[in-house]
Amino acid sequence: MRIVVTRRVPEAALVELRALGEVWVSPEDRPLTPDELRKAVEGASAVVSMLHDRIDASVAEAAGPGLRVVANVAVGYDNIDVPALAERGIAVTNTPDVLTDATADLAFGLLLALTRRIAEGDRLLRARKPWSFHLGFMLGSGLQAKTLGIIGPGKIGHAMAKRAEAFGMHVVYSGRNDPVEDLLRVADVVSLHCPLTPGTRHLIDAAALKLMKPSAVLINTTRGPVVDEAALADALLSRRIAGAGLDVFEHEPDVEPRLLELDNVVLTPHLGSATVETRTEMALLAADNVTAVLTGAEPLNPVHH
């Protein structure tokens, strides 16, 4: 059996996969182009994919009839055409749960960095600008008694809420069938944890941003296209909202240029799951899913269409 890994993963996962057959790991330290991806998967029994790999019918056709499983090293699977693969009898799996705490930590870290102006203060010192302490210097805002609005109350959303409650925040939720407008009007912090679907693409657009309090901030650690980035830049520049903390971007790895110039924005390069422990667990879980399918067992984390 031939197993294709589209980008480098922790060695522990490769050890498990090599016990199943030949393992090919992309030598490129970048996403494969669509043509490179189709070429790489030829003859594969399994593909271990990353969130930047578009896995669709053309990839399945390039792999051939022996492809049995695509194991996505991510919770989200918006990069995979699940129905197209299901039609061909190809299992799709993801890696839920193991990154819950790491992503919630990062989301809350963005919130603290934004509201307490941590990144802005760091930039000031590194620029060697003169400063002196006084009672009005670089005032931020506290979180105690503020309202956190969670859009997408799954495991990561609830983990974010748990951290917020420890800081004395009130928490409100908006799920799949709940109107988001009421949450946007009352929340001091809006934190996005919903998957990217046709229904959530540009969920936060110009109209949604107009509903938020001028003092409110937006946190996004889910998928970039949930937010209309141009509309967000407009809202921040006009002080329609107070700030944003973003770990994901609409056209990743590109970022709306205006956001890069704003002090009321904190940006990180998709670090939600970026701890040694978490990324290792994600890769191992993907390998476990491949092992299950290729040895005739049910996948541990099947994605259903």
What tokens were used for 110?
Answer: 């963005």
Q: Determine which one of 223, 256, 279, 281 is catalytic.
A: 223
Mean pLDDT of 248-269: 97
Examine the residue annotation and report whether 202 is marked as an active-site residue of this protein.
Answer: no
Read off the pLDDT band of 92 (50, 70, 90).
very high
User: What's the pLDDT tens digit per position in 152-206?
Assistant: 999 999 999 999 999 999 999 998 888 899 999 999 999 999 999 999 999 999 9
- Statement: residue 126 has pLDDT above 90: yes
Domains present along the chain, CATH in parentheses: 2-98+276-294 (3.40.50.720), 100-267 (3.40.50.720)
Q: Find the mean pLDDT for residues 268-295.
A: 98
Task: Tell me what the mean pLDDT of segment 51-70 comes to.
Answer: 98
- For residue 202, the model assigns a pLDDT of 98
Instruction: Return the closest-CA partner of residue 106 out of 285, 294, 279, 271.
Output: 271
| pLDDT of residue 133 exceeding 90 | yes
Q: Is the pLDDT of residue 235 over 90?
A: yes
The per-residue pLDDT of the chain, averaged, comes to: 97
pLDDT of 289 higher than 90: yes
88 is a catalytic site residue: no
Catalytic (active site) residue 270: yes
Cβ neighbors of 94 (< 8 A, separation 6 or more) are 72, 74, 75, 76, 77, 301, 303
Distance CA 42, CA 62 (A): 6
Catalytic residue among 7, 270, 279, 281: 270
In this prediction, residue 53 carries a pLDDT of 98
Per-residue pLDDT at 305: 78
Question: What's residue 224's pLDDT?
Answer: 97
Spatial CA neighbour of 277 closest among 12, 8, 38: 12
Summarize the confidence of residues 7-31 as an average pLDDT: 97
Asked if the model's pLDDT at residue 66 lies above 90, the reply is: yes
